[in-house]
Each structure stands twice: as structure tokens, then as C-alpha cells.
Amino acid sequence: MKKIAIVVFFSFLAIGLFTFAKKKTRYVDAAYKPLKTLIIDPGHGGMDPGATGTFSTEANVSLAVSLKLGDAIQKEFPDIKVIYTRTTDIVPGNKNSIEGGLFYRADLANQSNGDLFMAIHCNSAGKAPGGWYGKRVSHYTTATKKVKVKKKWVTKTIKVPVYENYWIENTPKGTETYVWAISKNDSKIKSVAKNGEYYGEMDSTLNIQLPDPSDPAEKARMLIYAQNYFRKSLSLADLIQKEFAVTGRVDRGVKQRNDKGIWVLQATGMPSVLVEIGFISNKAEEEYLNSEKGQNEIVKNILDAFRSYKHKLDEKAASSDKQ
């Protein structure tokens, strides 16, 4: 009976998916959807400075780079709508809590029918920006000490360590780009339905009730969208890291992360990446991140990757139109 139930379930699932496939003109195809709206999210802001360097904050550096990136993209692709989650040093949406700002970022992206979400952040490592003092044994001296041996006191010579402070430079550096953890795929699936473009091509003149996301066939369809977004996110992240490597930056790779700081990636119903543009805790890299030269190079790296990513989408859309 259990085997029969499983067969019946998947039969209905296949029928449901076939029905949706026949009505594909009502929906935007996730694989060939053109990139019209880009959401750029400068990390942190306001009461939340993020990581701190020796003279700057992650919030301010990420904002400066984000604004330059958006400007560069709009100049090259004037048809693309660029939306920022913040343009000044505030918690996004001028919310009065960090959590409120996080929800605002995701809601803005979804309600704006975003086609791509890019968060810009700075990394941090070690105990303190720049470096810190540690303690180690520099040498030993000797001292005498009386100890009791078999009820008698005897004098013994012992070694005594002498300590010194020494400077430990904060050395981690380089770039890494994150996508949401695959363990959070269910959250991404739920986010798909929050993006208005999911039902974007439904004929508004028809009085049709929207499909129920709890329906197995509809949930399967949203899973397809989420998987497609994951592939696109990985593709863009890989392109970004390759561009950074070309300019000699340390490539720390494409990674998955599953914590509060990266929640927006699974809460946005679109391809999404978070770019750690460098370590603000490393003094040399902090100076690079704050310099005009450094910011311009970072923007060029991400712009070149974005251009390649968009070109791939355009090629798929063109080949789809011919079919």
C-alpha cells in the first residue's frame, strides 16, 4: 500500500507540473528571465557599524563601494534599474533595530521584483584590527626554592620562565563571495513566492486564483526556481572571485554560510550573493579598501563579473526565443 501511495503521489505531482508547463505563458521562466532590476545592499549602517578597522568601519567602506558600483552599472547598462537598500549611513529603511533593517532589505528586494541581489561587505579576523600584543617565554632564569622531601626541607634550584610581550600582526587578507547555505533551501523556496515576478506574466484580466504554495505541485515548481537561483548565484560568485584573482587579490573562494549575517541571501526570491571585498582588520588591506585606487579596482572587478553574468543570461534568453 505504501508503494502504491508513493506512485499515486508522484503521478499527481507530474500532472501538476505538466499543467503548469502548459500554462507557462502565465509565468516568468526563471532560467531565461532578463535582468531588469538589481538590488545593491551596502552592509550594516547606522547603529550597526559592522567590522571596524584601525581608522574606518565596514558600514562606510561598503557604502562607498556600493554607490560607485551602482553608478558604474547604470552608466554601462542604462536600462537596468538599480535599487539601493541604503544610500547614507543609516540602518536600512531608517529602522530602529538591526533586525528591522535586515527585514527591510529582504522586503525591499522582493517587493521591487528584483532579479539579482548583491550585498557588499568587509571581512574581519583576529582579536583586534591591525594586530595585538601576545605574551611568550623569552628565556629562563634560575632560582632556589626549599621543598620538603621525606619530612626534611631541602634547597633545590629551579628554572623560572621570563616572559615578553610581542606584536602579532593581523594578517588575514583577500576576498570571498558567499551564497546561501544549501541547508536553507526551504527558506529560499518560501522567498520565491514573495517576489512579484514569480507570477509576473499572469494575465491580470483573468480572474484566476493564485496557486497555493503549500500545494505539492506548486512547491515543486518553487523548488525548481530556487535551484535555478542557486546555480545563477554560484555562477556570479565564481565570476566575481575570478576577477578579483586577475588583479592579484588573494582568492579565498566561493563559500556557503549559514548565520544571521547572511540571512538576506535566503530571504530574497532571486539569485543572491554577498561579496566580502577585503579584510578591514588587516591594516594594509584597510588602506586599500579606503583608497580611490582600491575602490575603483574593486568596482571594476565586480562590474566585469556582472557583465559576463548578464551576457550569459542574454544568450540563454536569445536561444530560448528561437525555440
pLDDT (tens, 9 = 90+) of the chain, 323 residues, equals: 444 444 434 444 443 443 444 344 334 455 567 899 999 999 999 999 999 999 999 999 999 999 999 999 999 999 999 999 999 999 999 999 999 999 999 999 999 999 999 999 999 999 999 999 999 999 999 999 888 888 888 888 889 999 999 999 999 999 999 998 765 555 555 655 555 554 443 333 334 344 455 656 555 665 666 788 889 999 999 999 999 999 999 999 999 876 655 788 988 989 999 999 999 999 999 999 999 999 999 999 999 999 999 999 998 877 766 65
Contact call for residues 292 and 136 (beta carbons, < 8 A) = no
Q: What is the predicted pLDDT for the residue at 25?
A: 36
> In the chain, how many H helices and how many E strands?
8, 8
User: Is the separation of the CB atoms in 211 and 193 below 8 Å?
Assistant: no
Domain ranges across the chain: 28-126+173-322, 131-166
Q: Do the Cβ atoms of 176 and 146 come closer than 8 Å?
A: no
Looking at residue 146, its pLDDT comes to 85
Integer angstrom CA distances of residue 97 from 44, 47, 101:
11, 8, 6
Please state the CATH superfamily assignment of the domain spanning residues 28-126+173-322 in this structure: Zn-dependent exopeptidases (3.40.630.40)
Q: How many CB atoms lie within 10 A of CB 160?
A: 10
Spell out the alpha helix ranges (H) of the chain: 2-22, 58-76, 98-111, 185-192, 216-246, 263-267, 283-290, 292-322
Cell triple for residue 215? 500545494
Query: Is 267:119 a contact under the CB 8 Å cutoff?
Result: no
pLDDT value at residue 4: 42
The DSSP H or E segment spanning 177 is strand 175-180
